[in-house]
Every structure is written in C-alpha cells, then in structure tokens.
C-alpha cells in the first residue's frame, strides 16, 4: 500500500507534468525510463528514489521542494490535496497561455486580473 508521501509526490509530479503540457511518454523519454514507470510514480505504485526525484526536478524545471509543497497541510486533511483548482484543464490552459505571452503583456494581464478581483470584493 502506498504511503501518504508517495501519493503526494505522485500527485505533484502529475500536476507539474500536465502544467508543462508533457505526456507521460515525453517525460519518460527525458528521464530515460519507460512511460509505465512514470505512471507508477504518479499513482504511487512505485517510490521515487532521491536520484529520480532530482532528475524529475531538473526535467520539469521545478525545485525539489515543489514536490513536497503542501504535504503537511494535505496530511492534516487526511490526504486531501489543497489547490485542486490546479488540476483542472481550464487552469492548466490558462497558465500555459499566460506563459506564452511576453513579460509586459503578462504583467498587464495580471494587473487586470487583480483589478477584477478587487471589484468583485468591493
């Protein structure tokens, strides 16, 4: 049976991979493993070694701490993941589109979103 930390790491791996728009196959090729191994990591059937976690962090351009972010909170909620909104396709599409913009349009879009949020609160 998978340990809570393995489940959390697998969820974070899946989230980051999807955010970057990578398939399991593409990630596996970048790591020199088969896609089934990525599947096993994501569903916590197999544990990730420290070396594999390091490799994944390099390929996914995320600090190792990314994989552990929110674990304490999730554990306190019985494994329920905070920020499930990031697992939605709509959110991933929005983030991908945002990062395809140049720096100036990104700042302007962020300012717009903040101002709209301020209007909703006020």
Question: With contact defined as beta carbons under 8 Å apart, do 82 and 73 qualify?
Answer: yes
Average pLDDT, rounded, for the chain: 87
Give the pLDDT band (50/70/90) at residue 33: very high
Q: How confident is the model at residue 122 (pLDDT cuts 50, 70, 90)?
A: very low
* Average pLDDT, integer, range 18-26: 94
Mean of pLDDT values over 30-34: 97
CATH code, 1-85: 1.10.260.40
**Rounded average pLDDT over 48-74:** 93
Instruction: Report CA-CA distances (Å) from 76 to 44, 69, 71, 90.
Output: 19, 13, 9, 28
């Amino acid at each position: 049976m998978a340990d809570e930390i393995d489940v959390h790491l697998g969820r974070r791996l899946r989230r980051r991979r999807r955010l970057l728009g990578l398939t399991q196959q593409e990630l596996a090729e970048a790591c020199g493993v088969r896609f089934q191994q990525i599947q096993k990591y994501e569903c916590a059937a197999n544990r990730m070694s420290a070396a594999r976690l390091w490799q994944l962090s390099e390929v996914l351009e995320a600090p190792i701490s990314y994989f552990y972010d929110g674990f304490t909170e999730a554990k306190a909620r019985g494994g329920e993941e905070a920020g499930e909104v990031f697992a939605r396709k709509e959110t991933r599409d929005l983030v991908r589109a945002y990062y395809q913009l140049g720096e100036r349009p990104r700042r302007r879009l962020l300012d717009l979103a903040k101002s709209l949020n301020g209007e909703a609160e006020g």
